[in-house]
Amino acid sequence: MAFEAFLTPNKPPSRRRRVLFIGSVALHAVVLVALAARSLWAVEELSPRGVAVTFRSGLIAPPPPPPPPPAQKAVATASKPRPKRPLEQPRPTEVVQPPQPVAKEEPAAEAEETEGEAQGESGGTAGGVAGGVGGGIAEAPAVAAAPPVDPPPLNLSPRLGAAQRLSDINDPQFRPSLPPALNRPGMVVRGLFRICVSKEGQVTEAKLLSSGDAPVASQWITVIRRWQYKPLTVDGRPTRFCHPLMVEVQSAR
């Protein structure tokens, strides 16, 4: 065979080889155990490295504080000794009499009264007004009292104003009418008036506010001024009042 030279005979290993193998394994085991024990015992604790952080509020540094004010030099003033005053003996209190009242002399007033009596008229009073009536006292002229201000008239609604009217509007003498030129069938004329009444109930003002025919309205004002109203009282006092009124007149034909 070609490989017969490489074949080794099945011989058991020798004792020497067995001892070397066992010794090598034991040596490696001891070295590994020693290295493991050393790695556990020789662990060095690492301390953390300190980090310093600086915060800046701005790009420009704040100005330095102002220098302290210079210390004021204390000026030593030599205090001068004050001279001692001699002790004064107390004096006994003196009794002071109160001052006596002195009568005032009024020669000027007496002279004026004497002169007034000499120049006065018979029957006059001493110290009177020159030119006055004997036995009387000159009085100041009385100031005339201002007349009371009349309050403005009250503004009533058309319904309240019509309720105060006493004249019957259906009466021919108190009812406005149309002139013959406008008295045609179906003709209707309207006019808005403002009527003011006095405290006695008489019409003092009849003012045209809006109307289509001015001549007719002027004729109606003459009729409205004949109306009589019931006086309006407010708090027990008669009061003027005004109210609007729409007058409408239709043709009688």
- pLDDT greater at residue 99 or residue 34: 34
- Residue 140 confidence (pLDDT): 58
- Given a cut of 60, whether residue 42 has pLDDT beyond it is yes
CB 211 within 8 A of CB 217: yes
- Residue 249 confidence (pLDDT): 83
Mean pLDDT of 220-236: 91
- Given a cut of 50, whether residue 186 has pLDDT beyond it is yes
Over residues 162-180, the pLDDT tens digits come to: 899 999 888 888 888 877 7
- Given a cut of 60, whether residue 107 has pLDDT beyond it is no
- Residue 243 confidence (pLDDT): 94
Rounded to the nearest integer, the mean pLDDT of the chain is: 74
- pLDDT greater at residue 139 or residue 250: 250
Confidence grade of residue 108 (pLDDT, cut at 50, 70, 90): low
What is the SS3 assignment for the chain?
CCCCCCCCCCCCCCHHHHHHHHHHHHHHHHHHHHHHHHHHHCCCCCCCCCCCCCCCCCCCCCCCCCCCCCCCCCCCCCCCCCCCCCCCCCCCCCCCCCCCCCCCCCHHHHHHHHHHHHHCCCCCCCCCCCCCCCCCCCCCCCCCCCCCCCCCCEECCHHHHHHCECCCCCCCCCCCCCCCCCCCCCCEEEEEEEEEECCCCEEEEEEEEEECCHHHHHHHHHHHCCCEECCEEECCEEECEEEEEEEEEECCC
Q: Is domain 165-250 classified as CATH 3.30.2420.10?
A: yes
- Given a cut of 60, whether residue 185 has pLDDT beyond it is yes
Over residues 197-211, the pLDDT tens digits come to: 999 999 999 998 876
Mean pLDDT of 228-249: 91
The pTM score is 0.42
Over residues 109-166, the pLDDT tens digits come to: 554 555 545 454 555 555 555 555 555 455 556 667 777 777 899 999 999 998 999 9
- Residue 203 confidence (pLDDT): 94
Confidence grade of residue 230 (pLDDT, cut at 50, 70, 90): very high
Over residues 61-87, the pLDDT tens digits come to: 667 888 888 776 655 555 666 766 666
